[in-house]
Structure 1
Amino acid sequence: MNLTSPVKRGRKYDEVLSGARHVFLRDGFDGASVDDIARAAGVSKATVYSYFSDKRLLFLEIARAEIATLTDRAMTDIDRTAPPAQVLTQAGQTIIGFSLSVVGLGIFRLCIAEGERFPELAQAFFEAGPMATQAALCDYFAEAQARGELRIEDPELAADQFVELCRADLQMRLLMRVPPPPSPRDVERVLTGAVEMFLARYATGPV
């Protein structure tokens, strides 16, 4: 499976992507079938395969689009001049939301299941997700440091730390299907703790 070659496009391409997104978000990677995707897209199964030779390749395309949208929204919809606690809370909400989503969980499971046979799959997800998130956070850190709000010597490490603080055990509980699933109160508790701990380490003044 070549994940680096361009995906073939045509007049039904957008319909296929729309149908696949609906099915993957509803059923996850394992539960989605090409038959279901074709029905949701209003096209034949052969049409789906004419664009994507493998369900994993189609899922990757959907995941890339979802990650790109979330990454853009995470930092463009935020007032980056607001106090760091506000900026980081909004960014953390996006990080947690994607980490606990059907697509986010599906990406992780798929990379673990297929990563050894298809290392380019994990690499593609890593570049589209964690690396892009890290870059967006580092851009913000540079701006906040220029204003004297944060002091960070290793911004890449700080970005990774913030992401992991936001996930805490929330994602792992869902991945391992440990009941009960995280509640909104659990999410709020983790997010508040992540922001407070991050600022306790990197803020230049009272938080």
Structure 2
Amino acid sequence: MARKKTPAIAWPGTPLPRVFFDRPSITVAPLLLNKVLAAADGRAGRIVEVEAYAGAIDPAAHTYRGKTARNATMFGPPGHLYVYFTYGMHWCCNCVCGPEGTGVAVLIRALEPVHGLALMRAARPRTAIDRDLCRGPARLTQAMGIDGAQDGIDLVAAAEGFTVLDDGVAPPEGLVGSPRIGISVAKDLPWRWSVPGNRYVSGPAAPRSPPLRERRG
């Protein structure tokens, strides 16, 4: 059955083009910081924390052992949303990256809410403070209204209710990747990035590289 089309995204900005996602996940991940995940109903959050997962070379990736019904979207075209269920209770969302068939993606770990907070609060009524609405991959899917129905939607087309926008805020410069969190294998790979000093990040802030004059010493 074809998905029902939804109204155009109202949050100002330009949807990221397919070519943005058609690169390795470890390239795309830090560039997604400060972009905006937006919904047609007005909910929007600035991406402040991400993790890259790299398919067949990454034991922590869902696609490490090949294609299954659960991870099929991650093997699909870049620029689509891969949504999966975990721990029997939570949804998490990822931006599919790289050429079709490679099985790589970027997990969105945290958002800074920027619009539609009333809808987010209604979706997470037990959340005591706004800081916790989207601070973590399961919280943000609840707050944004993302679940299994969104698995496979095209973020680039922005016609199925969700997209990722560039509204002119550049990603932080000089970031250094840090170890991913919440996984049991390949924990030391430095494929997690976050906006330094942002209070909505779900784990320890990712470091910046030292200034060039310090590195020369």
TM-score by length of 2: 0.27
Of structures 1 and 2, the one scoring higher in RCO (CA 8 A, sep 6+) is 2
Q: Comparing both structures, which one devotes a greater share of its residues to strand?
A: 2
